[in-house]
Amino acid sequence: MLNGTMEHVVKHSILCSYVLSQPLVTYVDAYPELQNKILMETEQLEFGEHGESIKLLQKKLNKLEYFDSEVDGEYGVLTAHALKNFQADYNITINGQADEQTIQALIDTEKDIYLKQIQSLSTEVYPGLTGENVETVQNALQYFGYYKGNIDGIYGPLTKEALITASNEHDGIELAEAPAVKVTVQNKVESEALKAQASNAGEKENAKEEKEEEKKQVVVEGINGGSIVAQAHSFVGVPYVWGGTTPAGFDCSGFIQYVFNMQGIETPRTVSDMWNFATPVDSKSVGDLVFFETYKPGPSHMGIYIGDGKFIHAGESRGVEITNLDNEYWKERYIGSKRVMQ
């Protein structure tokens, strides 16, 4: 059996051979690492030629900021001028030709840029994170052919798998784990418990009962809320499947039920049952449920509030993802928040 790295290389070699054998294939549509192989195995490009290979050459020169004209596939004066400028900067014979040495230098320079992006950001991104850093990493991973998903800025299972592959093939790439949820309310609970113990004997039993109820409430709103959100984050990128209740694929209510069950909390299966099961709240807290009216009257979609005006949910188009409550679509359909009480 091939290991992951060898399998990756074999797949690339086979695919490259296939692409080169197809006279009408659009090389520009191939992923960048395959484009590199195509350029290196193509006969030397000459001034006056035109075609897909010239487009690949122009795209690389454009990426490195040597070519700012239209990528038209024409090896003319502008392309030759860009090549001469590149050759001058990298101590290559200045002839404006796309010879093997120049092509290899272009590829090495571009590859180094993307590799440095992965190396510098790999410890800054982690499962569940969203944003520009994740998008940059995904784009760089896609360049090498490691990442096959959408460039969406969401660190899900595909991004993690791609980073693992990259770390096996390149030095300087370290994977970060999602930061632990800070439990700040526990100290408050313990402090209150000590105060209760210091109360007089006549009130001790009542104080204990009140404190148990307070502790239970704080756990639901704080500790469990953070744990639930952390658990939910780990499934970002899992695809949407109608009726799905496992990490192989979730629908919106199946996702919620699975996350809560992982925390030892049993909940109903459907959105409407969850709406009736949970307790209404005036102000949302981390771990609360947010409900929406979408394709039919009444609650028909839900997610978990994660703070900062955002919620995590299993959406039909992109699977488990993080969305802003101010998003026009969801803002218009929001009908309330509720809390699961133990």
Q: What is the CATH number of the domain that holds 278?
A: 3.90.1720.10
Give the residue from 206, 231, 256 where a domain finishes: 231
Q: pLDDT tens across 38-74, in order? A: 888 888 888 999 988 899 999 999 989 999 999 999 9
The verdict on 46 and 102 lying in the same domain is: yes
What is the C-alpha to C-alpha distance for residues 315 and 323, in angstroms, rounded to an integer? 10
pLDDT > 60? residue 257: yes
The verdict on 156 and 205 lying in the same domain is: no
Q: How far is CA 8 from CA 141, 166, 190, 303, in A?
A: 13, 11, 53, 37
Active site residue 50: no
Q: Using the 8-state DSSP alphabet, how is residue 29 labeled?
A: G
Helix or strand run (H / E) with residue 61? helix 52-63
CATH number, domain containing residue 109: 1.10.101.10
Active site residue 252: yes
Q: Please, are residues 304 and 256 in contact by the beta-carbon 8 Å criterion?
A: yes
- Answer whether residue 240 is part of any domain: no
pLDDT > 50? residue 269: yes
The verdict on 47 and 158 lying in the same domain is: yes
- Answer whether residue 237 is part of any domain: no
Count the domains in the chain: 3
The verdict on 250 and 301 lying in the same domain is: yes
Residues above pLDDT 70, as percent of the chain: 77
Domain that holds residue 189: 185-231
- Answer whether residue 238 is part of any domain: no
Q: 190-214 burial, b for 16+ CB within 10 Å, e for fewer?
A: eeebeebeeeeeeeeeebeeebeee
The verdict on 213 and 150 lying in the same domain is: no
The verdict on 60 and 147 lying in the same domain is: yes
Q: How many CB atoms lie within 10 A of CB 48?
A: 9
Q: pLDDT tens across 72-123, in order? A: 999 999 999 999 999 999 999 999 999 999 999 999 999 999 999 999 999 9
Active site residue 301: yes
Q: pLDDT tens across 145-190, in order? A: 899 888 888 888 888 899 999 999 999 999 987 664 443 334 443 4
The verdict on 18 and 151 lying in the same domain is: yes
The verdict on 157 and 9 lying in the same domain is: yes
The verdict on 60 and 100 lying in the same domain is: yes
- Answer whether residue 174 is part of any domain: no
Q: Please, are residues 137 and 149 in contact by the beta-carbon 8 Å criterion?
A: no
* From 8, 16, 233, 301, active-site residue: 301
Residues above pLDDT 90, as percent of the chain: 49
The verdict on 268 and 123 lying in the same domain is: no
* From 8, 16, 233, 313, active-site residue: 313
- Answer whether residue 133 is part of any domain: yes
* From 8, 16, 233, 252, active-site residue: 252
The verdict on 39 and 86 lying in the same domain is: yes
